[in-house]
Structures are given as structure tokens and as C-alpha cells.
Amino acid sequence: MNKVLTHSLFTDFDIDLFKAGKHFRLYEKLGAHLIEVDGVKGVYFAVWAPTAQSVSVVGDFNYWTGGEHQLQVRWDSSGIWEGFIPQLEKGVLYKYKIESNSNGIVTEKADPFSLYCEKPPHTASVVWDLEYNWKDENWMQSRQEKNGLDKPYSVYEVHLGSWKRGENNRFLTYLELAEDLVAYVKETGFTHVEFMPIMEYPYDPSWGYQLTGYFAPTSRFGKPQDFMVLVDKLHQAGIGVILDWVPSHFPDDAHGLGFFDGSNLYEHPDRRKGYHPDWKSLVFNYGRNEVRAFLISNAVFWLQYYHADGLRVDAVASMLYLDYSRKEGEWEPNIYGGRENLDTISFLKEFNEVIYANFSGVQTIAEESTSFPMVSRPTFTGGLGFGMKWMMGWMHDTLKYFQKETVYRKYHQNELTFSMTYAFTENFMLPFSHDEVVYGKKSIANKMPGDEWQKFANLRLLYGYMFTHPGTKLLFMGSEFGQSDEWSFEKSLDWHLLQYDYHSGIKKVITGLNHLYRTQPALYEKQFSGEGFEWINYSDHQNAILSYIRKGNNPNENLVIVCNFTPVVRENYRIGIPQQGKLVPVFNSDEKQYGGSGIGNSGSLKIDASPYDGRDFSIELILPPLSVTVYSFE
């Protein structure tokens, strides 16, 4: 006997929007909802399964047996099954048992809209609510001022499972992280935290990039409200929160989205478009209206209910190109004969339009590694509409240069200067991410050449160059104190290294650079504009020295930056200056507190009326070994 009552949260308008792919708050309708019907409390369930012959809710309340609590399919050909089960309460475990009408296949699936999941390796969904009393009003009302493209944006990338571990290598909880992580990020001065995917995922070695619970923060670290506490505390500390978001692919786990109702429901039915050979995962069907609505609703959900300040979209390049990681014959050109995935392009544009239209003070960031044009340009000008794009070319070229022994660097100066030929074609974020410290690539610190002193001097120089180069910044956890080993998702960062001067010095350098970035408008006001940068001299490859000016809105706040990429101290090194007056040192990566030699300039330095570097004025400076020095005009 069916114990499910007829009830619906859908209006005809909802259904029309869903079919058209324009319903962007589907989580308010689909999924499990604690409601009251005619004075009776219980749970309303709704799931999209258009090729199903029957859908039952199975769970710990009916001994996981199908047929007892069968949902009813709507009459409107939407493919939605729904119903109300009285007396069910928060905390009940459940899945959908789905029998296909086309092939007799029976699947048992977690709820795609579940708000909370069983702790892996268990796979059931949990009836839950999202009630929480937020205390971040000040942040939410003023975040437009913190998240703008003309504001400092320094991101600390974190994998929650391995930032720090507790006794016996246990995970810290969201609530513990709300104390330790928030205090640490505030101390080091980052403006934002970016969490590698916190949506529920079954397999730890995927680092969270193979999702099964798109609407549920992973239960590894606690309940959904516990994650809200972490976000809330970060906001109260003045720190923004960016979430990694993975609309590019999903795993084929039995309880996940794959072959959901016995058909290719969420994934593209053509394996050339629906299967990812690199990750052995399934690819969303971006041309299907209901799938687009699912994904955009998911993005909206994290911004609405978890107060996220931005989404970093993973693997955009793999979405954009039909031939990505495919050999000839393994892909089919689009209708114009090209390799671009037109459905993806349309989807990404709509995603960005919806996000920016509905939320103020947020950013979307594309991890996109190709030369696809206008990724971070508005859709009304033909762009994809992202706020920022990762500058992968800069990252690769810079690390390649820094890995060279210093004696050879004079032959490779163009590897550094090349970035400025395209630096303003997009709103670029400079990333040293988790991808650069795994799979035998070494940690950032151990990429640096030379003896121990030179390794750490090079690292200080690398970070100084990064923070004075145009663009926003992203640094993966552990890199800020010179983690020696590659990152492992299975254990904590090597926090014991901070007892050693060189490592604590790197942490002080990052803290100093974050302070410099936040307090010097010349480093952020025009960070995406060619007006914000001017070379002084990029051709002194013989000495491996670069000098440039960073500019903000006020010319009096401009900064002069000089990078010495060799361990040779340069006495009386002259550079051209565009104006009279004095220079005052404001940052030197070679200071003793950072583990450096303490060489450098001090006090006010008079600018000479001597032409040099094509300018009317000039100044002589002492350049410390392997250093970045920054000067303001007095």
C-alpha cells in the first residue's frame, strides 16, 4: 500500500521555467523538504526522472524496501515525480529507487538535491534543513567594496582535509577550523579563502573534484550548519570566501548522477561529448535545458544559502573544446566545423549573467588554460562573462624561469617579460595552486635552485615578483611558509617547519606582501589595466634585473619596483625615474626578519636630475641579492 500523499510545491510557471532551462532556484522545489500539509508534519520529495516507470523513496524508515512509498509522476510531461510522506523527520536517511520504463534497469540513487549526505563511504541522503542565524550582516552589506576588480584580492587556497589534522591524523571539524583557520588567515593577511570543493564527494583521492552531492557540504567535517559557522566567522573577520565549483564532469558512482533513471539524464548521451577520458568521468549535457537549470541553480544555491562571495569554476578549458584530450576521430566538430563546444559557451555565458544579475559583490573566476578569447569580458561584448581568469601562462613561464640556476637567467629574461604582452587581455589572477605541488612537481620551495640560503631568497623573490606583477593573487596552503614536501591530501601540512627561521621568514614575507598589497592602491586600483603598469627597464638581461612602475589613480601613490634575479649585490645601480623628488623604501624581501642578508637602502633617497633609461631623472640604488625592493615617492 502506497503511504505517500499527493502534494506539490510546483506551480505551472515553475514547470514552464524548468522545461525551458530558466528555473534557477530548483532547490526550492526538487529534493526533500520538511513541510506541513493540512496540519501534518512530514517530508515532501520531488525528483526528476523522466524515463522512470516507478520511483520509490527508500530509507531507514521503511527498511530500504521499494514499493511502499511510491512517488507519483506529474501529468505535465516534466518528468518530475513527487509526493508527501507524513511523520518523517529531520535526520531520516533515504534514497530514490528508480525502475526505468525503457529497459527494466533499477537504480538506487542519492538525491541530486540533498542538503546533507551520510559520511562517506556511506552514500545515503539525509533529510535536513538550512536554518541558521547568520551574523555577517556587516560583511554582506559592504562586500561590494571588498570584492571589486579594483580592490586587493589575495587568495589562500585551502584543502580542508589536509590543512591541519587532529590527534591520530583525524580531520578537523568545520567548527575547529572556524577557530584555527580563521585566525591564521587573518594573521597572514590574505583577503580571501578559496576552498577546494566542499560539496559531497565519495573518493578522497579526487580531492573533491568528483562530486555526488552538489547541494551538500561534505559531512566529513560536520553538518551543513557547521560549515555555515566557518563561512560566518571568516566574514566576521573580514575575509571573503570563494568556493571551487565543478560543473565540468561527475563520477559514475552507482549512487551518483550517472545513468540516473536508466538513461543518460545528466550526462551527454554521445560518449564523444559525455565521457571525459582524462578523469574517466561523465560530462554534463550542456544543451539540455533541465541540466542547465540544475547547474545554474546549484551555483545560485551556494551564494544564497552559504553566503559565498565567489565561485572558481574548475576545468573550463575541458568544457570549451570538443577535442579536449581527444585524438582525431574521437570528437565531432560543431555545426560550423570548429572545435568549440557551442552548448558550453552558451551555458557559461548564461551562468555568469545569472550570477552577476542576482548577487552584488561576488566574482566568478575561470580556471582556463588556453587562449580562448574574452573569458573575463562581459557577455554583452561577446565575452564569457567571468570576473577573472587564471593566468596559467604567467605561472608556467615564471616557475620555469625560477627553476633555472641564476647564472643562466640572463639568457631567459624574455620568459618573464613576455607576460606583459598579454597581461591586460583578461582580468588575470596569478595562481600558484595545488596543481603545482603534486605528482612529482615538487613543492614551490623545492623548485628553487641553489643552496639553502639561495632557495629561500629565490622564494622570497618569487613571491615579491608575484605581488608586484599586475593581477590578483592565489597561493596554495603551505606555500606561504615554504612547505618542503609535496602536498599530500592524506596528512596535515608540515607546521613544525615554522620553528626554523627560513620557513618562518617566508611566512613573514607573505604577511608583509599581503600588507603591502592591501595598503598600496598602486598595486590594485588598476591591476587589470595597462594604465597601471610601466616598464622602467626590461632589457638589462645581462644583470638579470627588471624595473617597473605600478600606478594607481593618484600619481603620488605610484610605486617603483626593482627585481634582482641573481645573488650578486648591485651597488650604485641606476634606473630612470619620471619625476623629481625622493624615493622611500617600503618593502625589501632581503630584510633580516625575512631570513635575508639585510642589505638595502634606507631613509629618503634623492632623485637626480640625470637622464637615464629614456627619462629625465634617475636614481642610484643598492640592489640586494635575489631580491625585490619596492619604493614609494615622497
Backbone angles phi, psi at 578, to 5 degrees: -80, -5
| 476 touches 483 (CB < 8 A) | no
Other CB atoms within 10 Å distance of the CB of residue 595: 24
pLDDT of residue 66: 85
Q: Do 12-126 and 530-633 agree at the fold level?
A: yes
Say whether pLDDT at 1 is over 60.
no
Q: Is the pLDDT of residue 3 over 90?
A: no
How far CA 339 is from CA of 269, 319, 334, 368, 616, in Å, comes to: 19, 11, 6, 16, 52
Q: What's the rounded mean pLDDT across residues 172-200?
A: 98
Could you report how far apart the first and last alpha carbons of the chain are, in Å? Answer: 84
| Average pLDDT for the chain | 96
> What 3-state class would DSSP assign to 226?
helix
Please tell me which residue in 111, 314, 368, 525 is annotated as part of the active site.
314
Q: Looking at residues 267-291, what average pLDDT do you find?
A: 94
Secondary structure (DSSP) of 17-53: HHHHT----GGGTSEEEEEEETTEEEEEEEEE-TTEE
Q: By C-alpha distance, which of 471, 583, 580 is closest to 530?
A: 471
Buried b (16+ CB within 10 A) or exposed e, 152-168: bbbbbbbbbbbbbbeee
Residue 423: per-residue pLDDT? 96
CA 95 to chain centroid: 30
How far is C-alpha 300 from the geometric centre of its chain's CA atoms? Answer: 16
Q: How confident is the model over 201-223, as pLDDT tens digits?
A: 999 999 999 999 999 999 999 99
367 is catalytic: yes
Query: For the segment 75-103, what is each residue's pLDDT rounded down to a tens digit?
Result: 999 999 999 999 999 999 999 999 998 77
Under the banding of pLDDT at 50, 70 and 90, the label for residue 246 is very high
Let me know the angle formed at the C-alpha of 363 by 357 and 366, rounded to the nearest 5 degrees. 115
Mean pLDDT of 585-606: 96
Q: What is the pLDDT of residues 316-371, one digit of tens each?
A: 999 999 999 999 889 999 999 999 999 999 999 999 999 999 999 999 999 999 99
Output the pLDDT for position 67. 85
Q: What is the DSSP string of 114-175?
A: -S-BPPTT---EE----------HHHHHHHHHHHSTTS--EEEEE-TTTSSB-GGGPBPPHH
Q: Is the dihedral of CA 247, 248, 254, 259 positive or negative?
A: positive
Is the confidence at residue 611, as pLDDT, over 60?
yes
Q: Determine phi and psi for 98, rounding to 5 degrees.
A: -120, 125
Q: What is the pTM of this model?
A: 0.96
Looking at the chain, the whole-number percentage of residues with pLDDT higher than 70 is 100
CATH of span 12-126: 2.60.40.10
Domain boundaries, the chain: 12-126, 530-633
- Catalytic residue (choose from 367, 426, 480, 590): 367
In this prediction, residue 5 carries a pLDDT of 87
Which residues, in sequence order, are CB contacts of 371 under 8 Å at separation 6+?
A: none
Q: Is 89 a catalytic residue?
A: no
CATH class of the 530-633 domain in this structure:
mainly beta
Evaluated on CA atoms 322, 328, 334, 337, the torsion sign reads positive
